[in-house]
Amino acid sequence: MKSVKAILFSAMGLIFSQKAGSQNLTAAYKIDQVVKVPLNLEKSKEATINFTAYLFKKDRRYIYFEKPDYINTYPQGKISIQISEDKRGSYLLNMDTLQAINYCSYDSLLFRYRQDFLFKEAANIDRNISQLFEPDYYPWAFHNETKTINGLLCQKATLTMSGNLNYEVWFCKDIETSFNIDGIIGIPGLIVEATRFDDSKHFLLLNYTSTKAVADAVFWPNEFNEKFVLYPMLKKSKIKKEKSKLEKQTEISNNNQ
């Protein structure tokens, strides 16, 4: 009887540690982004570029970054379409091998992120940013909808900022993380699938593990050796919540039913 209790206790402990406080997390994502290659000044043709993204967690530190899969496919840094004998259209690609770098510490509630630009001389824009934040800063809307993605039960959430629907995400509460793809905070679980609407970017979890060790060096990429500029703290009390057109239409539609 004692041994049965011990097994049960161990099993419960394992479940608890998986759900409530895994110290490490390594997750990989596949990203598809639809881009538009111009055929003239008005018309364009869609093409898809891919990235592989990584999310690491160690204790209360997190980092996320994307690696473009297109570097070898388009070594000239552009997607080109021959329109006619004398006309061609091209889409410029960001050829940085590490992009969308987002770091976060929940001990100091500090963000570090790097803005991506097509070329180094891109005006006088701050490249590396650090910023304190409140964990519930972003006005996520949590929905009752659920779906199972690759065997993981996921809940839907959306983020609307300045009246525009920015993200739709599907997250799994059972995989504990406070920080997610693309530097997302405020989602109580690992994002399994997401869409970023303003540039047609789709994220899908490839795999994850909470048992693999994460090296400290991962949290300070070379790009972070450049100067950081401190931005003001993200305070929830200061944010304005505005609904997107889609949310307003849905609300009106629901009220009319």
Partner 1 sequence: MKKILIAALVIIPSAYAFSSTSFPHKVEVPTNFNPSKENVNEKKEGCTKTEYVTGGWAVKCKNGTLYRGTVTLGCSGYGETCEQATTNAWNCANAAVQSAIAAQAAQASHECSTIDDSVEP
Task: Specify the 3-state DSSP secondary structure of 252.
Answer: helix
Task: Specify the 3-state DSSP secondary structure of 27.
Answer: strand
Give me the least distance between CB of 230 and partner 1, in Å please: 10
Q: Taking CB under 8 A as the rule, does residue 233 contact partner 1?
A: yes
Give me the least distance between CB of 174 and partner 1, in Å please: 27
Task: Specify the 3-state DSSP secondary structure of 49.
Answer: strand
Task: Specify the 3-state DSSP secondary structure of 247.
Answer: helix
Residue 25 burial by Cβ neighbours in a 10 Å radius (0-12, 13-18, 19+):
buried
Binding map of partner 1 across residues 165-194, x = CB under 8 A, - = no contact = -x----------------------------
Interactions with partner 1, residue window 4-33 (CB under 8 A): none
Number of residues located near partner 1, criterion CB under 8 A: 48
Give me the least distance between CB of 56 and partner 1, in Å please: 21
Question: The tokens of 101 are what?
Answer: 């770098």
Positions of E strands within the chain: 24-38, 44-58, 61-68, 78-84, 87-92, 99-105, 110-114, 128-133, 140-149, 152-161, 164-172, 190-196, 201-209, 228-234
Q: Taking CB under 8 A as the rule, does residue 74 contact partner 1?
A: no
Nearer to partner 1, 16 or 117 (CB): 117
Sign of CA dihedral 133, 135, 141, 146: positive
Interactions with partner 1, residue window 79-118 (CB under 8 A): 83, 86-92, 113, 115-118
Give me the least distance between CB of 133 and partner 1, in Å please: 8
Q: How far apart are CA 110 and CA 127, in angstroms?
A: 17
Give me the least distance between CB of 166 and partner 1, in Å please: 7
Rule CB under 8 A: choose which of 18, 24, 30, 38 binds partner 1.
38
In DSSP terms, which residues pair with 26 in a beta bridge?
56, 209
Nearer to partner 1, 132 or 218 (CB): 132
Largest CA distance in the chain: 84
Binding map of partner 1 across residues 190-209, x = CB under 8 A, - = no contact = --------xx----------
Q: Taking CB under 8 A as the rule, does residue 144 contact partner 1?
A: no
- From residue 21, alpha-carbon distances to 57, 121, 178 in Å are 11, 43, 11
Give me the least distance between CB of 113 and partner 1, in Å please: 7
Nearer to partner 1, 179 or 208 (CB): 179
Rg (C-alpha) for the chain, rounded Å, is 21
Rule CB under 8 A: choose which of 78, 127, 173, 243 binds partner 1.
78
Rule CB under 8 A: choose which of 106, 231, 243, 247 binds partner 1.
231
Site residues, partner 1 (CB under 8 A): 35-41, 44, 78, 83, 86-92, 113, 115-119, 121-126, 129, 131, 137-138, 161-164, 166, 198-199, 231-235, 238-240
